[in-house]
Structure 1
Amino acid sequence: MASQVETKLSLPALTAMVVGSMVGAGIFSLPRNFARATGPLGAIIAWCVAGIGMYALARVFQALAERRPELDAGVFAYARAGFGDYAGFLSAFGYWMAGCFGNVSYWVLIKSTLGAFIPAFGNGNTLTAIVVSSVGIWLFHFVMLRGVQQATMINTIVTVAKVIPIVLFRADMLRANLWEGSDALSAGLFSQVRATMLITVFVFVGIEGASVYSRYARRRSDAGAATLSGFVAVLCLLVLVTLLPYAALPRADIAVMRQPSMAAVLGALLGPFGSVFIGAGLILSILGAYLAWSLICAEVLFAAARTGTMPRIFFQQNERKLAVAAIWLTSTVVQLFVISTYWSIDAFALMINLTSSMALIPYFLVAAYGIKAARHDIEEGGAQRNALRRDYFIAAFATLYTVFLLFAGGAKFLMMSALLYAPGTVLFILARRERGLPVFVRAEWIIFAVAVCGALAALVGLMTGAVVI
């Protein structure tokens, strides 16, 4: 939406966008989510795996931003250029849905935070919590329709401020958790690390924030540089937030804390003041992140419609140059899934996993296109052949990493993703008919058939109780 960024964005502004997109609700939940799966040793290994894998993915985004400057429509443009229109649609739809699920998790966590002081909010999915969240959704919706711009820097400042008190740790407790915390879990170390992978994806969603708005960058190279610098800053922050609680409390105590567990950690260390301090910071940070991601979601629909991947209605703008239909659909989907959390056992954990699962296909397609683009450029010859070979191997590693993430996530969330991709294809069919084009080519029919089979399997699993949400 052109009106959302009236001037070209500088490198610091793009970097703040990346950091602000990644630092949202996930960071507040890390202590408990990791403690339930593993101890400090497994957490260290998990962050090494995630850090290396996501670094490779960030390098792919950087290389493509520099070598394919004409692909300025966001993440899905790479999938479309490399693998056709339907792959581009799946990438755009998956990324948009990931953003919607992330926004649902924000409301759940806000109400769970208030639930520590107001019992009616419970764990964020009570009837009272859903009603209040619904009011918030539509308040923000009408704020966005007035053309409010992103304020992602607030997320960075507030998050750093709330992490500082966690450095009050005990070396003896860290040693005890390091050698005893992991052993106390029944699963082996590999299984412990695997169990954390979707969590790491959730907190890294947003790494492509500069790519989404790359056409607004003063220089195309700034989008890649912002991706890398934002990634490094956030990785350091995430590792600290994960590991330092192990140096303050036993792993078993952290594992049973209510969300947001960062507030519970500070509450255990500093008393009620710690919980209130983090709770206030969390709400402020999440509201800023919610606005940022709502605009990103609308931008994805707008950009996809601009290239004919989504129906034309999402490209239409009002007198304020706002893609109103995209904003309305985003708010409506968030509202529906907020209502659905009422029937969820652990609404926040479910939204984390669904966000991560929906983001994996777009990330996989970007990494795979990185391989294809580098190989094409190598075959074309010319200068920088060594750099191109390096980009090729980095993209290959990033692709393997995303495949590992799909395996780590498990069949359950792949089927749940298919349950959304299959009916969501209706939007693609409408877009193709608007352009007078055949719906699918032969290979795309196969992909669609796989999605339908996965969706049917998910429905059967939900109806029989084999799949529990």
Structure 2
Amino acid sequence: MSQTSTHTEGARTMSLPVLTAMVVGSMVGAGVFSLPRNFAQATGIFGAVVAWLIAGVGMLMLAFVFQLLAVRKPHLDAGVYAYAKAGFGEYPGFFSAFGYWASACVGNVSYWVLIKSTLGAVVPAFGEGATIAAVAVSVIGVWAFHFLILRGVREAATINQIVTVAKLLPILLFVVIVAVALRGDVFGANLWGGSERTAGALFDQVRATMLTTVFVFLGVEGASVYSRYARRRTDVGRATVLGFLAVLALFASVTILSYGALSKGEMAGLRQPSMAGVLESVVGTWGAALIGVGLIVSVLGAYLAWTLMAAEVLFVAAKDHDMPAFLARENRQDVPVAALVMTSALITAVLAVTLFSDDAFTFTLELTSALSLIPYLLAAGYALRLALTGETYDTAPHARGKDLTVAALATFYTAFLIVAAGLKFLLLSCVIYAPGTILFILTRRERGRRVFAPAELLLLAVVVIGAVVAIAGLIAGWLTI
């Protein structure tokens, strides 16, 4: 997540290259450092190419959805969840806000797991990021950041400049070095993901990578937030496309070129961050050190930005009367203190859960992606509804056909991702959503309104049943994390 000055004198001054760079900076996060292992565990080169093509088209359509909604419904500025609320009602809107916040919190847990896994190469007690020592140090880090933010650390321009260089430089060096050192025999042996070379097997391999691609593209909706700074309004759309294509090319290059350094099996067995292991196999231990240092600086900067963003989601929703009023409380430094406490508390709770996970990083990555899918699906569904009904197209009917195609593709893609995620993560999401409904009940009572409408009771029943089934599955052992 990149931040910019909001001073009036800074408005309308950003050229197309600057806007494009900001789009790139907002999307390149910690996930890229884990791509070689995550893809190697699922597929070979053919599957990786297909997966990135699908993800590229799908996420670009989703980016366009947020862009067109910003144009069609400019008054809905209370966050991604506002589209769910406007299109499908208050309870789905609440789920969208809560899910978006929860996905940011769980994503922050993955950052701590990745940092401790990186340090685990030199501090064995940290293992792969989910040992008691690793979790204990991570919890200290969570609350250290919490109190740092409470002191008013909201403007992070200098930090983000360092972070951008720290994360892009080692990634670009990785791509160049691995491309030059590519071994043709190894690359050829990795073309297929398994012994069965059928369309069905390829589909299963691609489906297994989908949550990984969602995770690395989280924040795609932020590409349009810089529109007010654009020198020309048309540059916003161009920057979105150019920045997105640049990031897609970077992610795909890291993934596919890695298959020319190690066998699929060797990559699948690497510790995270797997980019470090791939580069180490090519240039030696300094390669792993380079990636490790770049990752730690990058992830700590990203953690600060996404913690602020997560607290902001609750704060803005409370200001809009969609969350309890206490979450709109600020301290003297204008920091949303109650929302920040809830954010740090959930991050701490999920860190504790990673102690029971076989692969903590993959678990948190996939749960983050699964939680973000409901807000994305509802936003895409709202755009589709507008295009189908013709609402807001009275003065521009010529744009309706294009927008209908974009919204339909984005809706289909996000629905496909939910199916690809599987029942496991849908049920685990319910474990988070169900208790979150308490906040919805408090909000309705504060407003002196009936708590649930009949249709909302039906949705509540589905979520509660899903949570009960998930907990029963975890106890019985047929559902694992």
TM band (smaller chain): over 0.9
Say yes or no: does 1:150 pair with 2:151. no
**How far has the Cα of 1:328 moved from its partner?**
1.4
Q: How does 1:240-319 map to 2 (within 5 A)?
A: 240-319=253-332
Q: How does 1:327-342 map to 2 (within 5 A)?
A: 327-342=340-355
**How far has the Cα of 1:100 moved from its partner?**
0.3
Q: In the alignment, what sits opposite 2:379?
A: 366
* Equivalent position amino acid for 2:371 in 1: M
TM-score scaled to structure 1, two decimals? 0.93
The one-character-per-residue Cα deviations of 1:272-299 (angstroms, maximum 9, x if unpaired) are 1001110000000000100110011011
User: C-alpha distance in 1, partners of 2:38/2:129?
Assistant: 17
User: C-alpha distance in 2, partners of 1:146/1:185?
Assistant: 57
| SS of residue matched to 1:196 | helix
Q: In the alignment, what sits opposite 1:140?
A: 145
User: C-alpha distance in 1, partners of 2:344/2:320?
Assistant: 23
Q: How does 1:206-221 map to 2 (within 5 A)?
A: 206-210=219-223
Q: How does 1:112-151 map to 2 (within 5 A)?
A: 112-148=117-153, 149-151=155-157
Q: Could you say if the C-alpha distance between residues 304 and 4 of structure 1 is closer, same or farther in structure 2, counting changes exceeding 3 Å?
A: farther
| SS of residue matched to 2:41 | helix
The one-character-per-residue Cα deviations of 1:210-260 (angstroms, maximum 9, x if unpaired) are 56x679767996876665444233212111111110122221211111111
User: C-alpha distance in 1, partners of 2:392/2:345?
Assistant: 47
Q: Could you say if the C-alpha distance between residues 340 and 62 of structure 1 is closer, same or farther in structure 2, counting changes exceeding 3 Å?
A: same
The one-character-per-residue Cα deviations of 1:357-398 (angstroms, maximum 9, x if unpaired) are 10000000010011122234x356534322122101210111
Say if 1:104 and 1:338, in contact at 8 Å, map to a contact too.
yes
Q: How does 1:298-447 map to 2 (within 5 A)?
A: 298-376=311-389, 378=390, 382-447=394-459
**How far has the Cα of 1:107 moved from its partner?**
0.3
160-169 vs 237-246, greater mean Cα deviation = 160-169
| SS of residue matched to 1:188 | helix
Q: Could you say if the C-alpha distance between residues 127 and 216 of structure 1 is closer, same or farther in structure 2, counting changes exceeding 3 Å?
A: farther
Say if 1:42 and 1:192, in contact at 8 Å, map to a contact too.
yes
Q: In the alignment, what sits opposite 1:195?
A: 208
Q: In the alignment, what sits opposite 1:160?
A: 168
**How far has the Cα of 1:262 moved from its partner?**
0.3
Q: What root-mean-square deviation, in Å, do the aligned CA atoms of Structure 1 and Structure 2 show?
A: 2.5
Aligned residue-pair number: 465
Identity %: 51
The one-character-per-residue Cα deviations of 1:107-164 (angstroms, maximum 9, x if unpaired) are 0000000001111111111111112111211111122112222344444322221122
Q: Could you say if the C-alpha distance between residues 308 and 250 of structure 1 is closer, same or farther in structure 2, counting changes exceeding 3 Å?
A: same
**How far has the Cα of 1:185 moved from its partner?**
8.6
User: C-alpha distance in 2, partners of 1:451/1:15?
Assistant: 40
Unaligned runs of 5+ in 1: none
**How far has the Cα of 1:460 moved from its partner?**
1.2
User: C-alpha distance in 1, partners of 2:344/2:437?
Assistant: 20
Q: Could you say if the C-alpha distance between residues 281 and 77 of structure 1 is closer, same or farther in structure 2, counting changes exceeding 3 Å?
A: same
The one-character-per-residue Cα deviations of 1:163-192 (angstroms, maximum 9, x if unpaired) are 223323325146414535544799811100
Unaligned runs of 5+ in 2: none
Say yes or no: does 1:65 pair with 2:73. no
Residue number among 100, 104, 112 corresponding to 1:107 in the alignment: 112
* Equivalent position amino acid for 2:333 in 1: R
TM-score scaled to structure 2, two decimals? 0.90
